[in-house]
Structure 1
């Protein structure tokens, strides 16, 4: 067997490794990870060393020190605006391993030119290399995020993205630190920077040699070389999928949010915290560690699924700790410039660092599920172009963040007030996005139910289809059964539910938000009855998951009730639409007697803690049954067997 081709499989055994760190031992991920890690480190070593050199070591009349960082940053971002659309097309059209290797050869050539710029020294050459390194990153971006879903399963995608996000911020941190230290070496600092950049570029190319084959997803694509028309086309393409497009906006907002903090660290450290350059570096370290920790935590908190329920949680944390950072920083007394040891010796500064670390931790929780969702939901043939649209929006939002932060400071805002403004704006933007895309709120509700109200364990989750239509048939024990099924599934589920449950406060609103399908007995409301089956058939025709509770109502004694014939009518309606969906039996366990279920001596939701805190509940999922075999009696027997496990 051709091992390169074999390695392109999305993951033959998604349960074979215990956590995301095990991916670093696998060829389908490790060479790619180190390639992107070394590229990000090289970008930042070069940019920071160049910035320090023109700020402290060289006197350039036409590039004053106060403008150096702004000019270098703008030159690096400019290619994202100009060439992202083209790079997205290239990543969809061509095999990705070949593209990555080409980009790494380009990096070696750029760094060789940059080394000449450092040795001479020659500022115009280094400015040109800044633009070219931006071009290098622009070409690599769509390839990077389109590569992951080709090699990782749905259950690995969150962890893989978390590793990449963590690696990127660690690389940024190490690159900045190394760049600052090396350029500061007397006489030979610029020379060593040039050599270091070449060494990192060569190491990146060597690691790219082991990246497995990644076939083109749209080899017949005709390249549109006009960046302006293609940029507009990419944005329209992304807008075609509402969930994906709103996620692009959400990620771009995160870059806006983060750019405000990163750009203000030097001034914040000096003017507000009264610290020296080492304190500014400490803030960068805390921020990077927080992002990395939050990114890595996503896999554990999402049970190795793409769980966008973490996104609202992340948004809440970003706002809470941004606002608290304002209160922590505004009352600090003035003092002489503090060294690093003097700064950390004061207890008030630990609150500042805790706020900074926690807001960045929650930013990691916020961003990683969004990246994974885009990769999972974007059409494979257009995936890289969707990522390119994301890069364009990111660049625009980062530019906007600089302009808005500058305008606020010019208007007399203090830096803590800018942080407060951004924290409040984050709450408003997040609320707007979540109301436009209710799936985020639904998933958040499901995440809270399974992590705060219950301790929820799923067995047999590999039987829940990750693509294509299917019917999920489950016993009905409580008023939150649908919420628990939502938490177990990596995909949205449409529920057929008793019309009376829509009258329950809060839960009714939640199920309407989830676009649940109300059904009434035929004798009570024939129109609602027939409409429910028509809508169910449409859901299956569209390739989505449909969940039903064949008992027809919540159990009153905790035992499994006889399954009614509604499942057969759903299958008949689906066949009329040309669909033969498999039926997946499911059993919710240990829910009877909990707050949201009935009890033998009373109704539901009357004693909040009658089972204590974090009571254990579970979901057992059985192997799918072909539609032809799924009669009510067999399904009831299957669910009964799952209940007994």
Structure 2
């Protein structure tokens, strides 16, 4: 096994280069590309092997072996605890290794380690001495946990280097789908072949070794992904390094709160997964095959939700899906309680009998939709962490997230056990977790309003309007920029939010903040109120200083140069505020691009001013799903910008959209 992570790669390996935009039609096309396909199948084989090994071992201890010091009732808990322990002990170190060394080298080291572990495990499976067999396999369980701990940070740190922003959600969706399918196949195959009389453990041993070798072989084709912090000095103390990583993640509020959100999802999911066998037997009156069926339904739901993320997000990192996912998780967890709380008495049923009972279908639909929304919830959060984390520290932040995930799953097991001891039924536990999910989600979205704002923008651009965006590649993916747009309606900022994968800070007329709902929304968005200098000089100056800070922080600033919503649908004269913003940026040593934009076909809609200057009357005067658009022009250098020339650029974009 090679341990020289810093050594040079083989001559046959390709080097990863920055991917261009619009290279493929959808996320499945990534499976034809070298920068993704070998990586996907490497992680798929590893996840399948983890679960083939663990489930095969668990079934052996539960049904086939007699071990006085490891009773069957405790086997699953002990194996699960041993597997998760390395995440707590070594995640901090694995994150540092991923940041310091070339990532493909780390992946191949981990796959070499997997081959060695599986060869040891094969000896354990094939041994006829139970006093040797069980300790060896328990040791391999810990080592496979270490294997997954080392692979976790490099898995999620590799994707942002291999995929562009438009591919990141789809790529994460594919990985999440592949992981759950691999888990499902590993459990099913492990349970089936270990049960073969006399030779079952031997077949599990061979399957584990073959999967490890296949994963190592395909990893040889992953292109190089350069180290992001090659000068990093490794801190081998896991406690101090974990604390340092958590502080590092906490420096970016959105990233840290997203980590907590993902960890909560694992808490939520672990409660359901841990209760499936008991739920199937005690509540649904089903046998082991029914428990497996529920697991299949749950896994298919997660995979489907993960894949839907790219479609619903229109190939951006769309965190507006996260509140949608949280709502669905709570709704269907609560409905699962009502669907399962009063099942009629019955003997233990097989799959055929179970499926023939109509009231069981509601339970399966609840499980499928609950897990589907969990996929919608988790994938954008993972993509956001990858996108917003500082590249040199990305793997360490992901490692810190893995530690939080492990802690939350441990707490979920303790809580589920405490609730059962307090004589909660399993449906009541599902109800409790569903209600808790609603509370936790609301708390997170209030702490990080960007999620809620993106959700509102998602609803507005998908349900209220049929929103078509042209030229959104011109919105800078990084760095400060000023977005300038015509002002047609009260929801213009919401539509611009929907068009940009990055948060936008708006400079807006102070009077809009006095409106009951929209005022609250724009305060939540940290919009900057501005008034004419003659009306409120202090607010005028404060607005420009706040705008300057946005640009100094490298964020997007949006202004409506007309100074107010058009009263006749025509483009009004641009005021000089844009020049003051650019002058302040130049004073701060910044040369920020200006991006012209034009909202089209929005005049005459519910939120625009018509009929004697009034807005928001006659909600359906243009029907539902009204077509509107946004044309985004190429960025202009600051020195080329003047109110008149910018007006001409926006007018041209507006004319193009109305043509």
Kindly state the Cα deviation for residue 170 of structure 1 after the two structures are TM-superposed. Answer: 0.3
Q: Is the CA contact (8 Å cut-off) linking 2:87 and 2:406 kept in structure 1?
A: yes
- 2:3 equivalent in structure 1: none
2:504 is equivalent to residue 497 of structure 1: no
User: Which of 221, 232, 239 pairs up with 1:228?
Assistant: 239
Q: Which runs of 5+ in 1 are unaligned?
A: none
- 1:330 equivalent in structure 2: 341
User: Which of 610, 615, 619 pairs up with 1:608?
Assistant: 619
Q: Which runs of 5+ in 2 are unaligned?
A: 1-9
Counterpart CA distance in 2 for 1:586 and 1:4 is: 46
Q: TM-score, normalised by structure 2?
A: 0.97
2:366 is equivalent to residue 359 of structure 1: no
- The alpha-carbon distance between structure 1 residues 637 and 391, as it changes in their structure 2 partners (threshold 3 A), is same
CA deviations on 1:209-245 (whole Å, 9 max, x unpaired) are: 0000010000110001111111111111111111111
2:12 is equivalent to residue 11 of structure 1: no
Q: Is the CA contact (8 Å cut-off) linking 2:479 and 2:554 kept in structure 1?
A: yes
Question: SS of the counterpart of 2:516?
Answer: coil
- 2:330 equivalent in structure 1: 319
Counterpart CA distance in 2 for 1:278 and 1:637 is: 68
Q: Is the CA contact (8 Å cut-off) linking 1:295 and 1:361 kept in structure 2?
A: yes
- 1:527 equivalent in structure 2: 538
- 2:440 equivalent in structure 1: 429
Mapping 1:61-140, distance limit 5 Å: 61-121=68-128, 122-140=133-151
- 2:471 equivalent in structure 1: 460
Mapping 1:141-156, distance limit 5 Å: 141-156=152-167
2:606 is equivalent to residue 598 of structure 1: no
Question: SS of the counterpart of 2:443?
Answer: helix
Q: Is the CA contact (8 Å cut-off) linking 1:4 and 1:212 kept in structure 2?
A: no
Mapping 1:469-484, distance limit 5 Å: 469-484=480-495
Counterpart CA distance in 1 for 2:330 and 2:626 is: 30
Q: How many residues align?
A: 643
- The alpha-carbon distance between structure 1 residues 363 and 642, as it changes in their structure 2 partners (threshold 3 A), is same
- 1:643 equivalent in structure 2: 654
Mapping 1:118-267, distance limit 5 Å: 118-121=125-128, 122-267=133-278
Kindly state the Cα deviation for residue 554 of structure 1 after the two structures are TM-superposed. Answer: 0.4
Q: Is the CA contact (8 Å cut-off) linking 1:595 and 1:604 kept in structure 2?
A: yes
Counterpart CA distance in 2 for 1:5 and 1:204 is: 16
Counterpart CA distance in 1 for 2:605 and 2:311 is: 26
- 1:299 equivalent in structure 2: 310
Counterpart CA distance in 1 for 2:250 and 2:540 is: 35
Counterpart CA distance in 2 for 1:489 and 1:57 is: 57
CA deviations on 1:30-78 (whole Å, 9 max, x unpaired) are: 1000000000000000000000001001111111000000000000000
Q: Is the CA contact (8 Å cut-off) linking 2:506 and 2:558 kept in structure 1?
A: yes
Q: Is the CA contact (8 Å cut-off) linking 2:567 and 2:613 kept in structure 1?
A: no
2:44 is equivalent to residue 37 of structure 1: yes
Question: SS of the counterpart of 1:506?
Answer: helix
Stretch deviating more after TM superposition (252-261 or 442-451)? 442-451
Q: Is the CA contact (8 Å cut-off) linking 1:251 and 1:370 kept in structure 2?
A: yes
- The alpha-carbon distance between structure 1 residues 389 and 153, as it changes in their structure 2 partners (threshold 3 A), is same
Mapping 1:561-600, distance limit 5 Å: 561-600=572-611
Counterpart CA distance in 1 for 2:18 and 2:616 is: 44
Q: Is the CA contact (8 Å cut-off) linking 1:10 and 1:149 kept in structure 2?
A: no
Q: Is the CA contact (8 Å cut-off) linking 1:556 and 1:600 kept in structure 2?
A: no
Counterpart CA distance in 1 for 2:483 and 2:234 is: 42
2:415 is equivalent to residue 408 of structure 1: no
Q: Is the CA contact (8 Å cut-off) linking 1:278 and 1:339 kept in structure 2?
A: yes
Kindly state the Cα deviation for residue 6 of structure 1 after the two structures are TM-superposed. Answer: 7.1
Question: SS of the counterpart of 2:213?
Answer: helix
Q: Is the CA contact (8 Å cut-off) linking 1:446 and 1:484 kept in structure 2?
A: yes
Question: SS of the counterpart of 1:497?
Answer: strand
Question: SS of the counterpart of 1:186?
Answer: coil
CA deviations on 1:526-575 (whole Å, 9 max, x unpaired) are: 11111111111111111110000011110111111111111111111111
Kindly state the Cα deviation for residue 602 of structure 1 after the two structures are TM-superposed. Answer: 5.1
Counterpart CA distance in 2 for 1:398 and 1:387 is: 16
Counterpart CA distance in 2 for 1:10 and 1:79 is: 33
2:293 is equivalent to residue 286 of structure 1: no
2:518 is equivalent to residue 510 of structure 1: no
